[in-house]
Structure 1
Amino acid sequence: MALQLSHAVSDGIRRTLTRTGGILFLGFLVIQLGIQTAVNSAVLGYLPPEAAAQFSSNAGLTLPISGRVGLVLFGVLTVLSSAYFVILSRTFAQPLSEASTFPATSTQRLGRATATAFVGGVIVSVTVLIGFVLLFFPGLFFAASFLFFIFAVAVEDRGLISSLKRSWGLARGSRLKLSVLVVVSGLFGGGIGAVSPLLDLAGVPVVADIATIVLTTVFFLPYYAIIASAYLQLRDGHDTLDGSTPNPVDASQTQKL
Structure 2
Amino acid sequence: MAFSIIDVMSDGFSRTTERNGLGFIAVFAVLALLNALVTAIGFDPATGTVPASGAIALVAGLVSLVIGIVTIAAVIVALRTFASAETEAIPREFRRRRIGVATLNVFVGTIVYVLLVAIGSVFLLIPGLFVLVSLYYWSVFVAVDDQHFFEGFRSSWSLTSGRRLRLFGLGVAVLFVGIVVNGAAGIPAIFLGGVASLVLTQLVAAVVTVYTLATTARAYDQLRSLEPPVDADARPGSAGMPA
Correspondence 1:77 to 2:67: yes
Residues 195 and 103 (structure 1 numbering): CA distance in 2 closer, same or farther, change over 3 Å? closer
Amino acid across the alignment from 2:90:
F
Distance 1:40 1:188 in 2: 29
Aligned to 1:148: 137
Query: Mind listing any 5+ residue stretches in structure 1 that lack a counterpart?
Result: 46-51, 60-64, 245-257
> Post-superposition shift, 1:73?
1.0
Task: Show the 5 A alignment for 1:111-190.
Answer: 111-132=100-121, 134-187=123-176
Q: Residues 36 and 169 (structure 1 numbering): CA distance in 2 closer, same or farther, change over 3 Å?
A: farther
2: distance between equivalents of 1:233 and 1:71? 40
Larger Rg: 1
TM-score (norm 2): 0.80
| 141 and 207 in structure 1: CA distance in 2 versus 1, 3 angstrom threshold | farther
Output one character per residue of 1:226-257: Cα deviation in whole Å (capped at 9) or x when no partner: 111110011122252x459xxxxxxxxxxxxx
Which residue of structure 2 lines up, in the alignment, with residue 8 of structure 1? 8
Following the alignment from structure 1 to structure 2, what is the Cα–Cα distance between the partners of residues 10 and 197?
26
Alpha-carbon separation, structure 2, partners of 1:223 and 1:38: 25
Alpha-carbon distance, 1:133 to partner: 5.6
Superposed CA deviations along residues 109-161 of structure 1, whole A, max 9, x for unmatched, are 11111111111112112322444465222232222122211210011011121
CA RMSD of aligned residues (A): 3.2
Query: Separation in 2 of the partners of 1:113 and 1:231?
Result: 18
Q: Which amino acid aligns with 1:80?
A: V
Structure 2 gaps, min length 5? 233-243
Say which of 72, 80, 88 aligns to 1:100.
Answer: 88
Output the CA distance in 2 between the equivalents of 1:27 and 1:7: 26
Shift of 1:39: 2.8
Instruction: Give the distance between the partners of 1:144 and 1:207, measured in 2 at CA.
Output: 36
Which amino acid counterpart does residue 39 of structure 1 have in structure 2?
T
Task: Give per-residue Cα distances to partners, 1:52-71, cap 9 Å, x unaligned.
Answer: 51337xx9xxxxx8111110
CA distance change for structure 1 residues 16 and 169 in 2, over 3 Å: closer, same or farther? same
| Residue in 2 that maps onto 1:233 | 222
The whole-number CA distance in structure 2 between the counterparts of 1:206 and 1:179 is 37
Aligned-residue sequence identity (percent) comes to 29
Structure-1 residue corresponding to 2:29: 29
Distance, in Å, in 2 between the alignment partners of 1:165 and 1:209 is: 39
Q: Corresponding residue for 2:238? A: none
TM-score (norm 1): 0.76
**Equivalent residue pairs, number:** 228
1:211 to 1:134, Cα distance in 2 relative to 1, 3 A: farther
